[in-house]
Structure 1
Amino acid sequence: MNIGLGKSLSKITDDSRISIDPQEYERIKKDIDYYTNADEKVEYLNSYGDKKDRVKNKLNITKTAARRIASIVFNEKANIHIQDDPEADKFINEVLLDNDFKNQFEEQLEKGIALGGFAMRPYVSDDKIKIAWIRADQFYPLQSNTNNISEAAIASKTVVTEHDRNAYYTLLEFHRWDKRKGDKGESKDVYVITYELYRNEMASQVGTQVPLSRLDAYKDLQPEVVIDNFVRPQFVYFRTPGANNITLDSPLGVGIVDNAKHVLDDINDTHDQFMWEVRLGSRRIAVPRSMMKYDSAHKPVFDTEQNVYAPLLTDDAGSVGVKDMTTDIRTQQYTDALNHFLKELETQIGLSVGTFSYSETGLKTATEVVSDNSMTYQTRSSYLTMVEKAIGELCTSIVELAGQSQLFSDGKPLFEHDLVNKPLDVVCQFDDGVFVDKDKQLEEDLKTLAAGAMSKATFLVRNYGMSLDDAKKELALIQDEAPEDTMFGAQLAKDGGGDGE
């Protein structure tokens, strides 16, 4: 679809190619407000009936909850491997390491958990494959169903100062599938990336389409790039587990905010009221007004640096004297209320009671967490399914991109692999240390190995974080050594476990 210059858009969703309910992005915008703990005003009447306002003292539990879930789902101890393909495994891990993938993915996962999802897009820069990270509010499906997004638009915003005024630029990057004629006139499926740049002097609107050369950052971009031989889109959308119950036919996920706004509001209101009571509950002692005289003729009776004493407006000083007017702060009542709402939140977002609140049963050991089949463990398992799916798709997209020789300065592909006849078998190993007692697992696995019910390869994978290929290499080295030469070899020889081959 060719769009001429001069086209104007108020919102990105006004583009006819974007097929999603605009309310989804209003929802995501509200989610961002919760995640960033955006300032909120509280209006009240003071003792004289005057209308006042102040900034609400909020507890950013959205950030805390998203961070907690992200850290137990994916962290730097995770391992990603390509099964039965050492060359592809080495290449993928080099690309991921060069992009600081483990740290970046955990950080983006945190935002995605709060907002409902995020996207990743590999691209070529200086003959290297880089990974761009796309927030939920920057990703717009074009063609999709509730399970898969095959086409999408990605928005990137830039602010530039022009003639002492801010100009707001939005680059829209459309990823679509199309049919084009081949060299012999045959029809073939191709992958088309289209770039469009828009400018406005108001941040709230997208604006009017302008040439890509308007900004130096985009002057070398071609308006359209056509690539064939792709098996999947050059973007990966991570969707949070569970159905979107806000917009039923939307392919976008929902974040932890969307179904817990009322509980989050209750937590923030309770915390704000408590902090306001603490502020108003500071020590106050009423004294006769005469005792507060402080001028050249009267020396101060009290320390001039403190604010404890307050003059009483009365002519009858003797009727009051010095009186403590401090009110007790209702700490226990507010603690109980906050604890109640935190438990509600834990249940709402799928975490075990006691994650944020005070559990009546006290702290649980890792073994107890698993044996109790806790909500946190189940929630983590659901997220891991989606994480493994997204990482597998990303690895495929990286290998596809690496095979496009025209994208590299030497005209040669960075890495070649036949994805049609040999799809990647991506295996992710996640750190279960939060839930699994590693010493206990090692002890039990040694018994299972001795009984011949577990292969040596599986033993190494489970207890030493090896990939299956690395485990097989290690076993080959052990096989070449005399069993008595090594303690581990002697143990394996004694136990008589199978070799798994």
Structure 2
Amino acid sequence: MNMNYTNMYQALRKILDKDEQIDYAMSGRTAAHIELWSKMYEGRPPWVNETTQSAGIAAAVSGELARLTVLEVKSEVSGSAKASYMDEVYQKVIEKLRIQVEYADAKGGLVFKPYVNADGISIQYIQADNFFPLEFDTEKITKCAFLDQFRKNNEIYSRIEVHTLKEGTLNIRNRAFVSKTEGMLGTEVPVESVARWSDLAQEITIAGTDKLPFGYFRVPLGNNQDSESPLGAAVFSRAVEHLQEADRRYSQINWEYESKETAVHIAQSLLKYRKDTDSFEYPAGKKRLYRAVEYNTGATDKPFMDTFSPDIRDTSYFNGWNHLMRMIEFDCNLAYGTISDPNNTDKTAEEIKASKQRSYSFVQSCQTALQHALEDLVDAIAFWCDLYHLCPSGTYQTSFDWDDSIVTDVESERQSDRLDVSMGAMSLWEYRAKWYGETKEQAKAAIQLPEDTVVE
């Protein structure tokens, strides 16, 4: 559990400002955006109320882009016995990568943070609303804080772990607080006085390192609401207004069906009254279908029954909904037809093709950013292995194989190959072998070229 992210950031700044002067990289506006993105992903945006429900599109967009980013990815650490030890830890990260990338896409970033325990090395996945980047040197984080909280009885325990890198020296400091009030850090207590954190050192300093020991995946999007922020932004950050409108439209569609639900208005005099339950008994127990009303015509009741079944205006609503989905797809770098109706023909073939190319480009940027984060994670694993002598020394290399079918525009590549054939830079049998899945012999036979023919 954790408190309101914006309040937590303000409380953290008050604590840190007492000890040192920090040129904070993250503004209060950025903290508020991270908090909003988190709530939208969880289906709890501030505009949800009794009449407006969440359609869950923010989560759907985050999940789909995460799927496209890590689809069929293969990565390993190799090169020595040390690399094999590291790879055992690393493969557990790869197994969970899609889910963790979804959380990063939803909140703008994620930290892969290795730590040493009794079993060796484990990885902690810290989402953006539990991570506070404090200072940067160009694009490299040089100071940050992590939040760990739990509740016991009526008290809230908070641990702030601050990492600082200065002139090749890493300093890690743990501070613990206890409070009985939500939204406040409360009173500082010794870290060792809290049973859960009693094994943690209050402060350690390590020389000879050039970066903080973790991998930070930053979603490669600018924050159009805070252009000074060095942090990433949620993949749906530019669609907030359209997502709000989509939630309203979704709720209107639900109400259209609910309010037009078939019903039979029936006079109470036609129903059997049961004294034991002090209620009317509906035909065949269909209470949902029948609505008891009291009809008065003059001095006496007149038995009456009327069917309520108006037309549902779903076509107009769904057209409006689909138009909103198209705008959200554009805002979120998704190809048209990803969350909108793929059978809708209001976009030209060229527009659809351009949207796919835009999506390919963004996914490729995400893969590049994720690869940098994973490489930093591997370096961090090696850092702790060397520091605690967890495995033999040795070299290591990290390899990556991303699924090119997602980020390659196949149609453009095929058109390029056709031009090469027409120019003579590529033979026709090579083209057939590549695009028709034929062997060299099959391709040459298909175009009636003898085996010993030389293609100019």
Under a length normalisation based on structure 1, what TM-score does the superposition of the two structures give?
0.70
State the match for 1:243 in structure 2.
222
* 1:129 is the counterpart of 2:117: no
Pairwise CA distance, 1:233: 1.0
State the match for 1:79 in structure 2.
74
Task: State whether residues 149 and 251 of structure 1, in contact with CA within 8 Å, keep that contact through their aligned partners in structure 2.
Answer: no
Please, which of 96, 99, 102 is the counterpart of residue 107 of structure 1?
99
Pairwise CA distance, 1:351: 0.2
Structure 2 segments unaligned to the other structure (5+ residues): 1-7, 346-350, 427-450
SS of equivalent residue, structure 2 residue 296: coil
Pairwise CA distance, 1:210: 0.8
Q: 1: CA distance between counterparts of 2:214 and 2:287?
A: 61
* 1:401 is the counterpart of 2:378: no
Q: Alpha carbons of 1:24 and 1:432: their partners in 2 closer, same or farther (altered >3 Å)?
A: same
What's the Cα RMSD here?
3.6
SS of equivalent residue, structure 2 residue 148: strand
Q: 1: CA distance between counterparts of 2:340 and 2:282?
A: 47
Q: Alpha carbons of 1:294 and 1:125: their partners in 2 closer, same or farther (altered >3 Å)?
A: same
State the match for 1:28 in structure 2.
34
State the match for 1:171 in structure 2.
159
Pairwise CA distance, 1:355: 0.1
State the match for 2:443 in structure 1.
none
State the match for 2:400 in structure 1.
428
* 1:64 is the counterpart of 2:60: yes
SS of equivalent residue, structure 1 residue 259: helix
Task: State whether residues 40 and 55 of structure 1, in contact with CA within 8 Å, keep that contact through their aligned partners in structure 2.
Answer: no
Question: What pairs with 1:285-296 in structure 2 (closer than 5 Å)?
Answer: 285-292=264-271, 294=273
State the match for 2:204 in structure 1.
225
Task: State whether residues 10 and 206 of structure 1, in contact with CA within 8 Å, keep that contact through their aligned partners in structure 2.
Answer: no
State the match for 1:416 in structure 2.
393
Task: State whether residues 118 and 134 of structure 1, in contact with CA within 8 Å, keep that contact through their aligned partners in structure 2.
Answer: yes
Pairwise CA distance, 1:309: 3.2
SS of equivalent residue, structure 1 residue 395: helix
SS of equivalent residue, structure 1 residue 202: coil
SS of equivalent residue, structure 2 residue 284: coil
Task: State whether residues 191 and 230 of structure 1, in contact with CA within 8 Å, keep that contact through their aligned partners in structure 2.
Answer: yes
Task: State whether residues 113 and 255 of structure 1, in contact with CA within 8 Å, keep that contact through their aligned partners in structure 2.
Answer: yes
Pairwise CA distance, 1:194: 0.9
Letter of the aligned partner of 1:308 in structure 2? L
Task: State whether residues 61 and 264 of structure 1, in contact with CA within 8 Å, keep that contact through their aligned partners in structure 2.
Answer: yes
For CA contacts below 8 A with separation 6 or more, give which structure has more relative contact order: 2
Letter of the aligned partner of 2:296 in structure 1? D
Letter of the aligned partner of 1:276 in structure 2? W
State the match for 2:239 in structure 1.
260
* 1:271 is the counterpart of 2:250: yes
Question: What pairs with 1:16-415 in structure 2 (closer than 5 Å)?
Answer: 16=17, 17=22, 19=24, 20-38=26-44, 54=50, 56-75=52-71, 77-82=72-77, 85-87=79-81, 89-97=83-91, 100-126=92-118, 128-145=120-137, 147-161=139-153, 166-178=154-166, 189-292=168-271, 294=273, 302-316=283-297, 321-360=304-343, 373-404=356-387, 407=388, 412-415=389-392
SS of equivalent residue, structure 2 residue 149: strand
Q: 2: CA distance between counterparts of 1:168 and 1:61?
A: 33
Q: 1: CA distance between counterparts of 2:235 and 2:377?
A: 24
Q: Alpha carbons of 1:157 and 1:372: their partners in 2 closer, same or farther (altered >3 Å)?
A: closer
Task: State whether residues 177 and 189 of structure 2, in contact with CA within 8 Å, keep that contact through their aligned partners in structure 1.
Answer: yes
SS of equivalent residue, structure 2 residue 111: strand
Q: 2: CA distance between counterparts of 1:18 and 1:157?
A: 26
Structure 1 segments unaligned to the other structure (5+ residues): 1-7, 44-53, 180-188, 363-367, 419-423, 454-493, 496-501
Task: State whether residues 76 and 87 of structure 2, in contact with CA within 8 Å, keep that contact through their aligned partners in structure 1.
Answer: yes
Pairwise CA distance, 1:205: 1.0
Q: Which stretch has the larger CA shift, 211-220 or 31-40?
A: 31-40
Q: 1: CA distance between counterparts of 2:172 and 2:133?
A: 14
Q: Alpha carbons of 1:373 and 1:274: their partners in 2 closer, same or farther (altered >3 Å)?
A: closer
Q: 2: CA distance between counterparts of 1:319 and 1:13?
A: 74
Percentage identity across paired residues of the two chains: 21
SS of equivalent residue, structure 2 residue 136: coil
Higher helix share: 2
State the match for 2:13 in structure 1.
13
State the match for 1:3 in structure 2.
none
Q: Alpha carbons of 1:175 and 1:301: their partners in 2 closer, same or farther (altered >3 Å)?
A: closer
Letter of the aligned partner of 1:93 in structure 2? D
Q: 2: CA distance between counterparts of 1:361 and 1:315?
A: 51
Q: 2: CA distance between counterparts of 1:268 and 1:190?
A: 49
Q: 1: CA distance between counterparts of 2:217 and 2:9?
A: 27
Q: Alpha carbons of 1:213 and 1:301: their partners in 2 closer, same or farther (altered >3 Å)?
A: closer
Query: 1:445-476, CA deviations, whole angstroms, 9 ceiling, x for partnerless residues?
Result: 9xx9xxx99xxxxxxxxxxxxxxxxxxxxxxx
Q: 2: CA distance between counterparts of 1:339 and 1:204?
A: 40
Pairwise CA distance, 1:325: 2.5
Letter of the aligned partner of 1:144 in structure 2? F
Query: 1:169-194, CA deviations, whole angstroms, 9 ceiling, x for partnerless residues?
Result: 11111111246xxxxxxxxx421111
Pairwise CA distance, 1:287: 3.9
Q: 1: CA distance between counterparts of 2:264 and 2:374?
A: 64
Under a length normalisation based on structure 2, what TM-score does the superposition of the two structures give?
0.76
Structure 1 runs of 4+ aligned residues shifted over 4 Å read 39-43, 86-89, 317-321, 368-373, 433-438
Pairwise CA distance, 1:57: 2.9
State the match for 1:50 in structure 2.
none
